[in-house]
Structure 1
Amino acid sequence: MILALDQGTTGTTALLLDAEGRLRGRGYAELPQHFPCPGWVEHDPDEIWASVTAAAAAALAAAGVPATAVRAVGLTNQRETVVLWERATGRPLHRALVWQDRRTADVCLARAAWNDELRRRTGLVLDPYFSATKIAWLLDHLPAARRRAEAGELAVGTVDSWLLWRLTGGRVHATDPTNASRTLLYDLRTGTWAPDLLDRFGVPAALLPTIRPSAGDFGATDPERFLGVAAPIGGVAGDQQAALVGQGCCRPGLAKNTYGTGAFLLLHTGARPVVSRHGLLTTVACGPRGERAFALEGSIFIAGAAIQWLRDGLGLLRQAAESEALARSLEDNDGVYFVPAFVGLGAPHWEPRARGTLVGLTRGTTRAHLARAALEAMAYATADVVGAMAADAGAPLERLRVDGGAAANDWLLQFQADVLAVPVERPALVESTALGAAALAGVGAGLWPTVEDFLAGQPPARRFLPRDLRPRRDAWLAGWRRAVAAARAWAQAAEDAAS
């Protein structure tokens, strides 16, 4: 059995899969988020760990097998989120700063002149989304943290590093290239931490984890701390790169979109990095044997979280699944658009000051319009990224593979196919992220030679074919562009008022 641990923004999923990739057990544990100030988003690192142990135990119970049946463990995680802890005790010094956290936006804006070099070296843009400014914030705002970091008393890492530390009883402080590449501290061409970038962001090298291949040796679980078993940890990857693997997109030209809290579209580009000229990121991906490869990525900060906001923030939905029936109840959006820029706009716009915008409201607007607008926003934002990818790659996308929680929504996927005018494919097992972690773990543990060998037994995907709606599609996309312009204008107006 392979135990795949998928630690996400709102919870942790654990899957237990057999050697043919068949699901034997599933477990899930929710993870609370904390919002101490506007624009700040945090997790308690101990709650992250507790969610992992709870989900793993639930998966084993669902499968009805003992922990000793686990032959390898794969780990995948929310990326960019930062944890700082004491090496001697393993005690976190602060809550984790989540990838959605925007507290360093002013720092990033003040250093905008660095952008060209950072894009060339790291494939990223200078944005609070990434880890470097989060690490610096912790060192500068916690008592004696910088001194202790320079003395080697502290450790820092993305969530994978924190969990590897806990899983191995403090024996392993490591990360993999997919996670390292999301920090602004990793040089794409050398595949190492960049000393000059560490100096520029004020991050001591002694803090950082070692970088190991995504499929390989990450130690073994400590039986005194995790399920009473010592199982090899054979694979680690950031959630979006793991989903790319789980969708079988391990070769150039294949693309997937994960609709989760945010939406993340990756296009595999092969063994050499492609630097985007259209607002995308260059990131590390995995090849068939877990080797380092590259991808273009479009990061959409808010996707399923918009539906959660309608449910939890406004009370318009009892369950997120209601959004599908509400969207189906309307023939059209009636000019209502929702740009859920709660934490700014991601790719391809990169406007950290933008805020959520609803346009086109009338007295006839109902909760059905708002639910449809939130679902449509996921599809439109994806279309923005797909257009940028086509421009960078020099060829249009031929199909899009999808996964994530919102991919269970048939209305959304049909609308996505209509807007993109290409087929959309949903796998039978939508937890592609955990599936990818399992595939990498098996390669790393020597259970199969390539991830494709493991994935060969997966059942065929369901296809959503585009309908011929060209005039309506053009009108929908034009309305979306006007709505995005309104969200960006709000940011500009706020800046003008402050100056």
Structure 2
Amino acid sequence: MNGTDQGTSQFTAAIDQGTTSTRFFIFDERGEPVAKHQEEFAQIYPHAGWIEHDPYVLIQSVRNCIEVATAKFLAEGYQPKDIRAIGITNQRETSVIWDVRNGKALHNAIVWADSRTAHIVRQLKLKDGADKVLEMTGLPLSTYPSAVKVKWILEHCKAAREVYDEGYLAFGTVDSWLLYNLVIGESGEKLHVTDVTNASRTMLLHIDTLDYDPFLKSFFGLEKLLLPKLASSSNSIAYGTMESGPLKGLRVTGCLGDQSAALVGQKAFDQGMAKNTYGTGCFMLYNTGNKPVISKNGLLTTVAFQLENSKPVYALEGSIAVAGSAVKFLRDNLGIIKEAREVGDLAVRVPDSGGVVFVTAFAGLFAPYWIDDAQGTIFGMTNYTTKEHICRATVEATCFQTKAIIIAMEKDSGIKIKNLAVDGGMSNSDECMQMQSDIIGIDVDRPAMRETTALGAAIAAGFGARIWSSFSDLGGVNARNHKRFTTKTTKAQQTSQFRRWERAVAMSKGWLTSEDIDQEYD
């Protein structure tokens, strides 16, 4: 680890609070997890297209994971003091609001993939100044960012509106909510803080100045909202220390949104490097260096990471709303499979999808399409169609959207991507990753240790705790047993398949009318 205490093991830890589960990891100097624990929690679906989390369940799940994983660590003969620092990574855009006078949450967290704000977005697009938002934030107006979720809460939750009008309503993405409840500052005070990667997903941060912008707050009608203090992704003091539990007093020195954390965990520190994370959704980030590139092809501009006392690094991002959740849909809603891991096995039992194309637009389509009025649609079904064809079409849906994002990234950057680093649930399947390579026509690189999101938070924490001082110190971290998948299809096959996918996307547009959206989400 190139640490300060030579001859002794140095460990870093990471809270990984995701969309469907919370996890806690303790990593050794090679980036290998020596202890971990995961806890799933309930998803709340009040209406079609709505997704919520209980804010207090998120806090308790983190506490539970820390307690169980730390007990495993101690059982191996280690001590809490062997852990030098802790980082946090989290589902982004998911929004929590609370009263700062008592810390009470006033509404369930509205999850990033929630689409209830579709009618608000339509109204905002017609508002004066709407044309400035993309250039200022790097984000297109959509149901995705936090600002529209908070605006919806204020329009529909009387208690929140009253606290807002009184000037006491605090907002945070999940990292801020957890830090507010789990850590304390130097004087024992509550901390209301976030890092620049999470803040860049709110639509309230100016992508150039990396500060909250008065115009943006006014545009969304959130002038009185109490926003978290901004800090770099690795920071020696901003995030405080754990207030209680088995790791009481341990410094939190890293904080990153989950996709930025995965980029760091893949060690994609150089301009031009890209990674794709297959989770509930699928997120591809492309490092563009120290200057933001505003996409002209439907991608997002985001802060990739910022080390303490260093310039920020930016990325282009392609966000797919539905990836692993489509596999869960096959399992839980349709009963086609019993275990998620079966999908790859079934998909390769057939040479192709038999003409079936599954546009998995359960919450509209995200990058690079940004179609709010599409819904999930399966095309090409005949009497010949089997569950194997549907499983293959489900996997291909993520692969095709990844290809669309790669095409957009190459147009924006002018540089051809030659290699794609992958991690996350679907990347565990050799069959799925071979299909990905075959569809995009470039090599796919998968590390042996694929918990790169948590590892990225631990790396950020390591920089904040001065365990590392430069990227070169990380040469031995997560370096073993990478597997490469090389395409087995021809350019003609790739082009033909993708044209069919694009045709299906075009046909899925406009399923929801403006009247449908107003009735369903109001």
Q: Is the TM value for this pair above 0.5?
A: yes
Contact 2:106–2:159 (CA under 8 A) maintained in structure 1: no
> Match for 1:244 among 249, 263, 268?
263
Range with bigger deviation, 150-159 or 364-373: 150-159
Contact 1:348–1:385 (CA under 8 A) maintained in structure 2: yes
Range with bigger deviation, 72-81 or 280-289: 280-289
Return the offset for 1:321. 0.3
Show the counterpart of 1:485: 506
SS at match of 1:479: helix
Show the counterpart of 1:374: 394
Q: Tell me if 1:275 matches 2:294.
A: yes
> What is the CA–CA distance in structure 1 between the aligned matches of 2:116 and 2:130, rounded to whole Å?
19
Contact 2:233–2:306 (CA under 8 A) maintained in structure 1: no
Q: Return closer, same or farther for 1:288/1:497 CA change in 2, 3 Å cut-off.
A: closer
> What is the CA–CA distance in structure 2 between the aligned matches of 1:87 and 1:221, rounded to whole Å?
20
Return the offset for 1:489. 4.3
Show the counterpart of 1:124: 139
> Match for 1:230 among 231, 241, 249?
249
What amino acid is aligned across from residue 490 of structure 2 in structure 1?
A: L
SS at match of 1:184: coil
Show the counterpart of 2:174: 159
Show the counterpart of 1:328: 348
> Match for 2:321 among 284, 295, 301?
301
Show the counterpart of 2:3: none
Range with bigger deviation, 145-154 or 269-278: 145-154
Show the counterpart of 2:5: none
> What is the CA–CA distance in structure 1 between the aligned matches of 2:104 and 2:475, rounded to whole Å?
38
> What is the CA–CA distance in structure 2 between the aligned matches of 1:191 and 1:228, rounded to whole Å?
32
Show the counterpart of 2:441: 421
Return the offset for 1:394. 0.8
Return the offset for 1:115. 4.4
- State the Cα deviation string for residues 88-115 of structure 1 (Å, max 9, x = none): 3222111000001111111111221454
Q: How does 1:22-421 map to 2 (within 5 A)?
A: 22-63=32-73, 64=75, 65-113=78-126, 114-169=129-184, 171-216=190-235, 217-224=237-244, 226-286=245-305, 291-421=311-441
- State the Cα deviation string for residues 327-386 of structure 1 (Å, max 9, x = none): 111011110110110000000110111100001101121111111111011100000000
Structure 2 runs not aligned, ≥5 long = 1-10
Return the offset for 1:497. 13
SS at match of 1:111: helix
Show the counterpart of 1:430: 450
Range with bigger deviation, 281-290 or 91-100: 281-290
Return the offset for 1:455. 5.2
Return the offset for 1:126. 0.7
Return the offset for 1:481. 1.1
What amino acid is aligned across from residue 125 of structure 1 in structure 2?
A: P
What amino acid is aligned across from residue 244 of structure 1 in structure 2?
A: L
Show the counterpart of 1:475: 496
Contact 1:324–1:411 (CA under 8 A) maintained in structure 2: yes
> What is the CA–CA distance in structure 1 between the aligned matches of 2:472 and 2:47, rounded to whole Å?
45
> What is the CA–CA distance in structure 2 between the aligned matches of 1:494 and 1:358, rounded to whole Å?
23
> What is the CA–CA distance in structure 1 between the aligned matches of 2:157 and 2:173, rounded to whole Å?
18
- State the Cα deviation string for residues 177-228 of structure 1 (Å, max 9, x = none): 100000111001111000111111111355110101111023333443x335
Aligned residues between the structures: 497
Show the counterpart of 1:465: 486
Q: Return closer, same or farther for 1:104/1:484 CA change in 2, 3 Å cut-off.
A: same
SS at match of 2:25: strand
What amino acid is aligned across from residue 267 of structure 1 in structure 2?
A: Y
- State the Cα deviation string for residues 291-336 of structure 1 (Å, max 9, x = none): 4111101111001100000000111111000011101110111101
| TM, length-normalised to structure 2 | 0.91
Contact 2:24–2:65 (CA under 8 A) maintained in structure 1: yes
Q: Percent identity?
A: 41
Range with bigger deviation, 339-348 or 140-149: 140-149
Return the offset for 1:496. 12
Range with bigger deviation, 104-113 or 270-279: 104-113
> Match for 1:14 among 24, 27, 33?
24
Show the counterpart of 2:467: 447
Contact 2:294–2:301 (CA under 8 A) maintained in structure 1: yes
